[in-house]
Amino acid sequence: MQSFIQGLPKVELHLHIEGSLEPELMFELAKRNQVDLPYQSIEEVSAAYQFHNLQSFLDIYYAGAAVLIHEQDFYDLTWAYLLCCQRDCVMHTEIFFDPQTHTERGIAFDTVITGITRALADGQQKLGISSELIMCFLRHLDQASAFETLSQAQPHLDSLVAVGLDSSELGHPPQKFIEVFAKAREQGLLTVAHAGEEGPAQNISDSLDLLKISRVDHGVRCIDDPKLVERLAKEQIALTVCPLSNTKLKVFEQMEQHNLLELLRQGLCITLNSDDPAYFGGYMTDNFEAVASALSPTQQELAQFTRHAIDASFCSAERKAQMRQQLDDYLATQGV
Ligand code: HPA
Ligand SMILES: [Zn+2]
Protein backbone atom coordinates (compact mmCIF):
# COMPACT_ATOMS: atom_id res chain seq x y z
CA MET A 1 0.00 0.00 0.00
CA GLN A 2 2.84 2.38 0.88
CA SER A 3 4.42 2.21 -2.56
CA PHE A 4 1.00 2.47 -4.23
CA ILE A 5 0.37 5.69 -2.26
CA GLN A 6 3.84 7.08 -2.90
CA GLY A 7 3.48 6.76 -6.68
CA LEU A 8 -0.19 7.73 -6.86
CA PRO A 9 -0.56 10.96 -8.88
CA LYS A 10 -2.01 13.63 -6.58
CA VAL A 11 -3.63 17.06 -6.72
CA GLU A 12 -3.52 19.45 -3.78
CA LEU A 13 -6.35 21.97 -3.33
CA HIS A 14 -5.79 23.19 0.25
CA LEU A 15 -2.33 24.40 1.12
CA HIS A 16 -1.32 27.60 2.89
CA ILE A 17 2.08 28.51 1.54
CA GLU A 18 3.04 30.15 4.86
CA GLY A 19 2.19 26.82 6.49
CA SER A 20 4.90 25.08 4.47
CA LEU A 21 7.67 27.01 6.25
CA GLU A 22 9.84 24.27 7.73
CA PRO A 23 11.82 25.04 10.92
CA GLU A 24 15.11 24.71 8.99
CA LEU A 25 14.12 27.40 6.48
CA MET A 26 12.66 29.52 9.29
CA PHE A 27 16.08 29.56 10.98
CA GLU A 28 17.92 30.19 7.74
CA LEU A 29 15.69 33.18 6.89
CA ALA A 30 15.84 34.50 10.46
CA LYS A 31 19.62 34.57 10.17
CA ARG A 32 19.63 36.03 6.66
CA ASN A 33 17.17 38.78 7.66
CA GLN A 34 18.40 39.31 11.23
CA VAL A 35 15.02 38.52 12.74
CA ASP A 36 14.92 37.35 16.36
CA LEU A 37 13.04 34.09 16.88
CA PRO A 38 11.59 33.06 20.24
CA TYR A 39 13.32 29.68 19.79
CA GLN A 40 16.98 28.67 20.30
CA SER A 41 17.01 25.59 18.08
CA ILE A 42 15.14 23.68 15.40
CA GLU A 43 14.28 21.09 18.06
CA GLU A 44 12.73 23.80 20.21
CA VAL A 45 10.56 24.95 17.29
CA SER A 46 9.34 21.44 16.62
CA ALA A 47 8.60 20.95 20.33
CA ALA A 48 6.45 24.10 20.29
CA TYR A 49 4.15 22.57 17.66
CA GLN A 50 1.72 21.07 20.16
CA PHE A 51 -1.71 22.52 19.52
CA HIS A 52 -5.02 22.13 21.30
CA ASN A 53 -7.21 24.05 18.83
CA LEU A 54 -7.06 26.26 15.74
CA GLN A 55 -6.16 29.47 17.59
CA SER A 56 -3.21 27.94 19.43
CA PHE A 57 -1.81 27.02 16.00
CA LEU A 58 -2.57 30.36 14.35
CA ASP A 59 -0.64 32.29 17.03
CA ILE A 60 2.53 30.32 16.23
CA TYR A 61 1.91 30.30 12.47
CA TYR A 62 1.63 34.11 12.24
CA ALA A 63 4.73 34.52 14.43
CA GLY A 64 6.75 32.20 12.15
CA ALA A 65 5.83 34.24 9.07
CA ALA A 66 7.81 37.18 10.50
CA VAL A 67 11.01 35.82 8.94
CA LEU A 68 9.58 36.38 5.43
CA ILE A 69 10.75 39.82 4.34
CA HIS A 70 12.16 39.89 0.80
CA GLU A 71 10.83 38.66 -2.52
CA GLN A 72 13.49 35.95 -2.54
CA ASP A 73 12.21 34.66 0.81
CA PHE A 74 8.75 34.10 -0.67
CA TYR A 75 10.39 32.48 -3.70
CA ASP A 76 12.48 30.13 -1.51
CA LEU A 77 9.44 29.20 0.60
CA THR A 78 7.35 28.37 -2.47
CA TRP A 79 10.17 26.53 -4.24
CA ALA A 80 10.81 24.33 -1.18
CA TYR A 81 7.12 23.37 -1.18
CA LEU A 82 7.18 22.57 -4.91
CA LEU A 83 10.12 20.20 -4.37
CA CYS A 84 7.98 18.36 -1.81
CA CYS A 85 5.21 18.20 -4.44
CA GLN A 86 7.63 16.66 -6.90
CA ARG A 87 8.70 14.04 -4.33
CA ASP A 88 5.03 13.25 -3.56
CA CYS A 89 3.90 12.94 -7.22
CA VAL A 90 1.68 16.04 -6.99
CA MET A 91 0.72 16.96 -10.57
CA HIS A 92 -1.11 20.18 -9.75
CA THR A 93 -1.47 22.40 -6.71
CA GLU A 94 -3.73 25.34 -5.79
CA ILE A 95 -2.10 27.34 -3.07
CA PHE A 96 -3.41 29.91 -0.61
CA PHE A 97 -1.47 32.92 0.54
CA ASP A 98 -2.40 35.38 3.29
CA PRO A 99 -1.30 38.85 2.11
CA GLN A 100 -2.54 40.57 5.28
CA THR A 101 -0.15 38.52 7.42
CA HIS A 102 2.62 40.36 5.58
CA THR A 103 1.16 43.78 4.69
CA GLU A 104 0.16 44.24 8.37
CA ARG A 105 3.88 44.16 9.26
CA GLY A 106 4.94 46.50 6.48
CA ILE A 107 5.83 44.07 3.67
CA ALA A 108 4.56 45.25 0.27
CA PHE A 109 1.83 43.18 -1.40
CA ASP A 110 3.91 43.12 -4.60
CA THR A 111 6.92 41.63 -2.80
CA VAL A 112 4.81 38.73 -1.57
CA ILE A 113 3.00 37.88 -4.78
CA THR A 114 6.00 38.38 -7.06
CA GLY A 115 8.13 35.93 -5.07
CA ILE A 116 5.38 33.31 -5.00
CA THR A 117 4.42 33.59 -8.69
CA ARG A 118 8.05 33.49 -9.85
CA ALA A 119 8.52 30.18 -8.04
CA LEU A 120 5.22 28.81 -9.40
CA ALA A 121 6.32 29.68 -12.96
CA ASP A 122 9.60 27.82 -12.35
CA GLY A 123 7.61 24.91 -10.91
CA GLN A 124 5.67 24.67 -14.15
CA GLN A 125 8.74 25.06 -16.33
CA LYS A 126 11.32 22.98 -14.47
CA LEU A 127 9.19 20.41 -12.63
CA GLY A 128 6.07 20.19 -14.82
CA ILE A 129 3.86 20.98 -11.82
CA SER A 130 0.90 23.18 -12.75
CA SER A 131 -0.60 25.54 -10.20
CA GLU A 132 -3.17 28.18 -9.37
CA LEU A 133 -3.02 30.88 -6.71
CA ILE A 134 -5.82 31.75 -4.25
CA MET A 135 -5.69 34.93 -2.16
CA CYS A 136 -7.14 34.48 1.33
CA PHE A 137 -8.65 37.17 3.53
CA LEU A 138 -8.01 36.83 7.27
CA ARG A 139 -11.45 36.59 8.85
CA HIS A 140 -10.34 37.91 12.26
CA LEU A 141 -9.69 41.25 10.52
CA ASP A 142 -12.56 43.45 9.29
CA GLN A 143 -14.08 43.63 5.82
CA ALA A 144 -12.49 47.05 5.19
CA SER A 145 -9.07 45.41 5.44
CA ALA A 146 -10.20 42.70 3.00
CA PHE A 147 -11.34 45.40 0.56
CA GLU A 148 -7.96 47.12 0.89
CA THR A 149 -6.25 43.80 0.12
CA LEU A 150 -8.45 43.27 -2.94
CA SER A 151 -7.50 46.72 -4.18
CA GLN A 152 -3.78 45.96 -3.72
CA ALA A 153 -4.33 42.84 -5.81
CA GLN A 154 -5.71 44.74 -8.82
CA PRO A 155 -2.44 44.78 -10.84
CA HIS A 156 -2.10 41.03 -10.24
CA LEU A 157 -5.60 39.76 -11.00
CA ASP A 158 -4.24 37.63 -13.83
CA SER A 159 -2.17 35.68 -11.29
CA LEU A 160 -5.19 34.84 -9.13
CA VAL A 161 -7.90 32.26 -9.75
CA ALA A 162 -9.96 32.80 -6.59
CA VAL A 163 -10.26 34.45 -3.22
CA GLY A 164 -10.63 32.49 0.01
CA LEU A 165 -11.33 33.01 3.70
CA ASP A 166 -9.17 31.63 6.51
CA SER A 167 -8.00 32.19 10.11
CA SER A 168 -10.24 32.00 13.23
CA GLU A 169 -13.63 30.60 12.22
CA LEU A 170 -15.38 30.91 15.59
CA GLY A 171 -16.82 34.41 16.00
CA HIS A 172 -16.10 35.39 12.38
CA PRO A 173 -18.90 33.98 10.20
CA PRO A 174 -19.12 34.29 6.41
CA GLN A 175 -21.73 37.08 6.75
CA LYS A 176 -18.88 39.45 7.62
CA PHE A 177 -17.47 39.26 4.07
CA ILE A 178 -20.49 39.24 1.74
CA GLU A 179 -19.68 42.50 -0.08
CA VAL A 180 -15.98 41.89 -0.63
CA PHE A 181 -16.67 38.42 -2.00
CA ALA A 182 -19.32 39.90 -4.34
CA LYS A 183 -16.77 42.41 -5.58
CA ALA A 184 -14.16 39.68 -6.17
CA ARG A 185 -16.71 37.68 -8.18
CA GLU A 186 -17.54 40.77 -10.26
CA GLN A 187 -13.86 40.91 -11.10
CA GLY A 188 -13.94 37.38 -12.45
CA LEU A 189 -12.50 35.55 -9.45
CA LEU A 190 -13.91 32.30 -8.09
CA THR A 191 -14.49 31.96 -4.35
CA VAL A 192 -13.76 29.38 -1.65
CA ALA A 193 -13.91 29.58 2.15
CA HIS A 194 -12.83 27.66 5.23
CA ALA A 195 -16.09 26.54 6.84
CA GLY A 196 -17.17 23.78 9.20
CA GLU A 197 -13.64 23.14 10.49
CA GLU A 198 -14.22 24.30 14.08
CA GLY A 199 -17.37 26.26 13.27
CA PRO A 200 -20.91 24.92 12.78
CA ALA A 201 -22.44 23.32 9.67
CA GLN A 202 -24.39 26.57 9.23
CA ASN A 203 -21.13 28.27 8.21
CA ILE A 204 -20.92 25.85 5.29
CA SER A 205 -24.47 26.56 4.08
CA ASP A 206 -23.96 30.30 4.55
CA SER A 207 -20.66 30.26 2.65
CA LEU A 208 -22.38 28.47 -0.23
CA ASP A 209 -25.42 30.76 -0.26
CA LEU A 210 -23.88 34.11 0.67
CA LEU A 211 -20.32 33.90 -0.62
CA LYS A 212 -21.18 31.62 -3.60
CA ILE A 213 -18.19 29.40 -2.98
CA SER A 214 -17.18 26.71 -5.49
CA ARG A 215 -15.51 24.47 -2.89
CA VAL A 216 -15.62 24.12 0.89
CA ASP A 217 -12.29 24.15 2.72
CA HIS A 218 -12.46 21.51 5.48
CA GLY A 219 -16.28 21.22 5.75
CA VAL A 220 -16.15 18.15 8.00
CA ARG A 221 -18.82 19.50 10.40
CA CYS A 222 -21.39 19.09 7.58
CA ILE A 223 -22.06 15.74 9.26
CA ASP A 224 -24.21 17.58 11.85
CA ASP A 225 -26.76 18.58 9.17
CA PRO A 226 -28.13 15.65 7.12
CA LYS A 227 -29.86 18.00 4.64
CA LEU A 228 -26.55 19.72 3.97
CA VAL A 229 -24.80 16.38 3.46
CA GLU A 230 -27.49 15.51 0.93
CA ARG A 231 -26.96 18.84 -0.86
CA LEU A 232 -23.17 18.45 -0.96
CA ALA A 233 -23.58 15.00 -2.50
CA LYS A 234 -26.25 16.05 -4.98
CA GLU A 235 -24.42 19.17 -6.18
CA GLN A 236 -21.01 17.44 -5.95
CA ILE A 237 -19.52 20.37 -4.06
CA ALA A 238 -15.98 19.40 -3.13
CA LEU A 239 -14.67 19.38 0.43
CA THR A 240 -10.92 19.97 0.73
CA VAL A 241 -10.32 17.78 3.78
CA CYS A 242 -7.02 17.95 5.69
CA PRO A 243 -6.66 14.80 7.82
CA LEU A 244 -3.38 15.50 9.67
CA SER A 245 -4.44 19.09 10.32
CA ASN A 246 -7.75 17.92 11.78
CA THR A 247 -6.09 15.58 14.25
CA LYS A 248 -3.31 18.03 15.19
CA LEU A 249 -5.93 20.76 15.91
CA LYS A 250 -8.24 18.30 17.71
CA VAL A 251 -11.13 18.61 15.28
CA PHE A 252 -10.96 14.81 15.65
CA GLU A 253 -9.07 13.35 18.61
CA GLN A 254 -7.77 10.45 16.52
CA MET A 255 -7.55 9.64 12.83
CA GLU A 256 -9.66 6.53 13.45
CA GLN A 257 -12.54 8.89 14.32
CA HIS A 258 -12.27 10.97 11.15
CA ASN A 259 -15.46 11.04 9.10
CA LEU A 260 -13.89 11.52 5.65
CA LEU A 261 -14.31 7.94 4.47
CA GLU A 262 -17.90 7.85 5.71
CA LEU A 263 -18.58 11.04 3.73
CA LEU A 264 -16.85 9.63 0.64
CA ARG A 265 -19.03 6.51 0.86
CA GLN A 266 -22.11 8.73 1.09
CA GLY A 267 -21.18 10.08 -2.34
CA LEU A 268 -19.50 13.36 -1.40
CA CYS A 269 -16.68 14.83 -3.45
CA ILE A 270 -13.93 14.38 -0.83
CA THR A 271 -10.33 15.39 -1.50
CA LEU A 272 -7.22 14.96 0.71
CA ASN A 273 -4.86 17.86 1.38
CA SER A 274 -2.06 18.94 3.69
CA ASP A 275 -3.17 22.44 4.87
CA ASP A 276 -0.01 23.54 6.77
CA PRO A 277 2.38 20.62 6.28
CA ALA A 278 5.35 22.09 8.19
CA TYR A 279 3.19 22.43 11.31
CA PHE A 280 0.96 19.36 11.09
CA GLY A 281 3.49 16.63 10.42
CA GLY A 282 3.25 15.97 6.75
CA TYR A 283 2.75 16.64 3.08
CA MET A 284 0.38 14.91 0.65
CA THR A 285 1.84 11.41 0.82
CA ASP A 286 1.91 11.57 4.63
CA ASN A 287 -1.78 12.53 4.67
CA PHE A 288 -2.72 9.67 2.33
CA GLU A 289 -0.68 7.24 4.45
CA ALA A 290 -2.23 8.41 7.72
CA VAL A 291 -5.70 7.92 6.25
CA ALA A 292 -4.79 4.52 4.82
CA SER A 293 -3.43 3.18 8.08
CA ALA A 294 -6.25 4.48 10.29
CA LEU A 295 -9.28 3.99 8.04
CA SER A 296 -8.26 1.24 5.57
CA PRO A 297 -9.74 2.65 2.36
CA THR A 298 -9.41 0.54 -0.79
CA GLN A 299 -6.93 1.44 -3.51
CA GLN A 300 -9.89 2.55 -5.65
CA GLU A 301 -10.99 4.89 -2.89
CA LEU A 302 -7.49 6.36 -2.60
CA ALA A 303 -7.50 6.96 -6.34
CA GLN A 304 -10.95 8.53 -6.02
CA PHE A 305 -9.48 11.28 -3.82
CA THR A 306 -7.29 12.25 -6.75
CA ARG A 307 -10.14 11.91 -9.24
CA HIS A 308 -12.31 14.20 -7.13
CA ALA A 309 -9.49 16.72 -6.77
CA ILE A 310 -9.03 16.83 -10.55
CA ASP A 311 -12.79 17.38 -11.01
CA ALA A 312 -12.83 20.13 -8.36
CA SER A 313 -9.68 21.91 -9.45
CA PHE A 314 -9.77 25.33 -11.11
CA CYS A 315 -7.40 24.45 -13.95
CA SER A 316 -8.29 24.19 -17.65
CA ALA A 317 -10.33 21.34 -19.13
CA GLU A 318 -7.28 20.40 -21.15
CA ARG A 319 -5.05 20.07 -18.08
CA LYS A 320 -7.77 18.06 -16.31
CA ALA A 321 -7.88 15.62 -19.22
CA GLN A 322 -4.08 15.22 -19.07
CA MET A 323 -4.19 14.53 -15.34
CA ARG A 324 -7.02 11.97 -15.68
CA GLN A 325 -4.89 10.18 -18.26
CA GLN A 326 -1.87 10.22 -15.94
CA LEU A 327 -3.96 8.76 -13.13
CA ASP A 328 -5.47 6.07 -15.37
CA ASP A 329 -2.04 5.13 -16.71
CA TYR A 330 -0.73 4.76 -13.16
CA LEU A 331 -3.67 2.63 -12.04
CA ALA A 332 -3.19 0.38 -15.08
CA THR A 333 0.45 -0.23 -14.10
CA GLN A 334 -0.76 -1.17 -10.60
CA GLY A 335 -3.54 -3.43 -11.84
CA VAL A 336 -6.19 -1.32 -10.10
O1 HPA B 1 -6.65 25.22 8.94
C2 HPA B 1 -6.74 26.47 8.94
N3 HPA B 1 -7.89 27.05 9.30
C4 HPA B 1 -8.02 28.38 9.31
N5 HPA B 1 -7.05 29.20 8.97
C6 HPA B 1 -5.88 28.69 8.61
N7 HPA B 1 -4.76 29.31 8.23
C8 HPA B 1 -3.85 28.37 7.97
N9 HPA B 1 -4.40 27.16 8.19
C10 HPA B 1 -5.68 27.33 8.59
ZN1 LIG C 1 -6.56 25.76 5.76
β-pairing verdict for 130-138 and 162-166: parallel
Where would I find the H helices in the chain? 2-7, 23-32, 42-48, 54-64, 71-87, 99-103, 109-122, 143-152, 178-186, 201-210, 226-234, 243-248, 260-265, 277-280, 284-295, 299-312, 317-334
Q: Residues near 77 by Cβ (< 8 Å), separated by ≥ 6?
A: 17, 18, 20, 21, 25, 68, 115, 116, 119
For 238, phi and psi rounded to 5 degrees? -75, 145
Maximum C-alpha span of the chain: 54
Contact 136/113 with Cβ under 8 angstroms?
no
**DSSP conformation letters of 142-185:** -HHHHHHHHHHTGGGGGG-SEEEEES--TT--GGGGHHHHHHHH
Q: How far is the C-alpha of 127 from the C-alpha of 283, rounded, in Å?
A: 17
Residue of 265, 210, 211, 214 whose CA lies nearest to 235 = 214
Ligand 1 atom nearest to 198, measured from its CA: 3
Q: How far is the C-alpha of 112 from the C-alpha of 223, rounded, in Å?
A: 37
Q: Is the pLDDT of residue 25 over 90?
A: yes
Q: Is the pLDDT of residue 257 over 90?
A: yes
- Check 197, 230, 235, 253 and give the catalytic one: 197
Indicate if ligand 1 lies below 6 Å from the C-beta of 166. yes
Taking the CA of 168 as reference, the closest ligand is 1
pLDDT interval class at 307 (50, 70, 90): very high
Residue of 112, 120, 113 whose CA lies nearest to 70 = 112
User: Which pLDDT tens digit goes with each residue over 279-298?
Assistant: 999 999 999 999 999 999 99
The CATH number of the domain holding residue 84 is 3.20.20.140
Domain tally, the chain = 1
Indicate if ligand 1 lies below 6 Å from the C-beta of 111. no
Contact 65/104 with Cβ under 8 angstroms?
no
Question: Residues forming the annotated binding site for Zn(2+)?
Answer: 14, 16, 194, 275
- 151 CA → ligand 2 middle, Å: 23
- State residue 116's pLDDT score: 99
**DSSP conformation letters of 11-39:** EEEEEEGGGG--HHHHHHHHHHTT---S-
Q: How far is the C-alpha of 78 from the C-alpha of 80, rounded, in Å?
A: 5
In which element (H, E) is residue 240 found?
strand 238-241
User: Which pLDDT tens digit goes with each residue over 189-224?
Assistant: 999 999 999 999 999 999 999 999 999 999 999 999
**Domain around 164:** 2-334
Amino acid identity of residue 143, one-letter, is Q
Q: How far is the C-alpha of 34 from the C-alpha of 31, rounded, in Å?
A: 5
- State residue 46's pLDDT score: 85
Q: How far is the C-alpha of 108 from the C-alpha of 71, rounded, in Å?
A: 10
Indicate if ligand 1 lies below 6 Å from the C-beta of 16. yes
| 35-139-227-311 Cα dihedral, nearest 10 degrees | -60
Question: What's the mean pLDDT in 43-66?
Answer: 92
